[in-house]
Structure 1
């Protein structure tokens, strides 16, 4: 079984779509470990704020199968394929890590957003503080400690989830 870390985000009816996305992920992956929920300003375009979180799960699927499943979940929840990269979205699901695999295809792993975006690094450091980034060779807690927290506005928000942080 591979341990995977997944980022989820939404800025269109975000509470609704994130809950729906989590239910779908649970259906396909089984038990999930959830970070806290964070709100952040849109990055790369002017838009409404996003809600973001990171989820940990285990899977027997290979990387390509995981990514295909995530794309299907996004589509099932109203994500328009072919939309501009920096635009509003109902649901964005990205594979951040697949064990300690480093690869370029079928997706780039580890995902670059881990290092560059607070809305990925902070929740990842919360649920995997002692895990070591396979390229940076630092723990996610250390990476978050070193991150320039003035570069992106981000704050924790209440997210009502009936299953707790692990379900």
Structure 2
């Protein structure tokens, strides 16, 4: 806690290292699969190769993973992070779960803004998030020094305190 009105959640280097190791193993598995099932091998190498690149980028990222304050939230939890989102643009939070992986979905008043104002790769991922969960902004605790339930509770507390004021 930086102050009464700001909470800074650091990136967990331990979690990012584990993600990097996991992605490396699956890239190696994809290379091995090339011999048996070429298409599956290529897909595994492509997907987990991107995960590997993204996790290495996060490994050297010095910025906090998430900041919550009276003005809004600053998302830096993933490579496709949204950056600053003022409370006036947040409509609430919900939970989306897939394969026992929970994600905190940030409801946004103008999702197209967060889809269109990004790089081509981010745009594809943000559009997929929007189609899958209803918002381009999705936060997991996979890279944060915080458990998912704590993250959800904290975000909801800030939204209840500051989000309703800006409506």
Same fold (TM over 0.5): no
Q: Which has the higher helix share?
A: 2
* TM value normalised by structure 1: 0.27
Relative contact order: is structure 1 or structure 2 higher (C-alpha 8 Å, sep ≥ 6)?
Answer: 1
Structure with the greater alpha carbon radius of gyration:
2
